[in-house]
Amino acid sequence: MKIDTLNLIIEGKEFSFGGGEGNGLQLDCGRSLPEVNISYETYGELDDSKSNAILVCHALTGNSHLAGRHSPDDSAVGWWNCMVGPGKPFDTDQYFIVCSNVIGGCMGSTGPCSINPDTGKPYRMDFPVITIADMTRGQKKLMEHLGIGKWLSVVGGSMGGMQALQWSVSYPESVGSVMAIATTSHLSPQAIAFDWVGRLAIMSDPAWNNGNYEDDLPESGLAIARMLGHITYLSDESMRRKFGRRLQEKENYSFDFSKDFQIESYLEHQGHQFVERFDANSYLYMTRAMDYFDLAPDGDLREAFAQSNSPFLVVSFSSDWLFPPENSREIVKALRNNNIEVSYCEMESAYGHDAFLLETETLGGLMADYLRARKADME
């Protein structure tokens, strides 16, 4: 079945589990979610052997809407639309693509906005703290629901890459290959610091009200958190090329504290757009999950990958200072020390961390070639 994801109207799907004793999702924090909903989308068709399935994991502010539109008048297509469709890297004539919203999110899967079955009210800050491993546990339940025994590949960039790495160590027999893009085996102290300041901006907003907001949303705090995070996704070179020190609709400085520079207006716009589609409490939970992610808490990354047995493609970008190339090289070294097949590419790019969403032509060609090789190996 050929589909054009530019014009495709895709309907979201849901999978729920739990509701009975011991049937929920046990979490790393020691608590459990008694009832869990997973929002997901699929593209292409699962073949008779069920060997062509690919899991794409989204980044921090992403969701399950990978490609296409939700309605004819939808102004935006899915977040990796250029990668999904006939003849594209994730070729829907060959592969069955699955993308789910992670637990803790606010795009359909169970998170702080969801109803707590024990109280009949939204969880809000009573939602348990989650980890990247908890996210993959939910995805594993979805995998079983879909009747898939082994992914052809698990793919992700940034936080999605963390999930892909976690899959390789938690469920090695369920993973045919891994494509880990612009990611890391653990956050640096600097990245944790940025996350903390972003969360503090939200929690310092009076409208946050200890997470118990309804009509009066903590828009200011969430917008500031987004602006701070967005700076880390860019590079100095990309900002210099796009904005420089150009003024915003002015010929001279205002000599007050209004927006003088284009970069200031750009960040404010990003913040305002973000609060229209994302939940502040989810931002707290998901950034905390990234903080806690550490494949090798004892410092031995080689040992962390000891049970992994699938080949890897690891990609980094030269100007990514949030998850710099040395993070990827550490992963590659640990894999090679376990005699695990790994291909590594450090791409030249001025886009910073966002390069995995913007360098789609080069990255897409690399991933398409890699998938073809993996598919041939499994046949």
Catalytic residues: 158, 320, 353
Q: Alpha-carbon dihedral of residues 277, 57, 356, 244, nearest 10 degrees?
A: 20
Q: Alpha-carbon dihedral of residues 199, 201, 204, 210, nearest 10 degrees?
A: -30
| Integer angstrom CA distances of residue 140 from 137, 189, 287, 374 | 5, 30, 22, 21
Give the span between the Cα atoms of 6 and 222, in whole angstroms: 31
C-beta separation of 167 from 156 below 8 A: no
Give the span between the Cα atoms of 3 and 241, in whole angstroms: 36
Q: In degrees rounded to 5, what are phi and psi of residue 180?
A: -105, 115
User: Going along 128-258, which residue ranges are E strands?
Assistant: 153-157, 178-181
Find tokens 């944790």 and name the residue.
Answer: 192
User: Going along 107-237, which residue ranges are E strands?
Assistant: 115-116, 121-122, 153-157, 178-181
Tell me the pairing of strands 25-26 and 342-347.
unpaired
220: left (phi over 0), alpha (psi -120 to 50) or beta: alpha
> How would DSSP label each residue in 32-45?
EESEEEEEEEEES-
Two structure tokens written together for 217: 């949303």
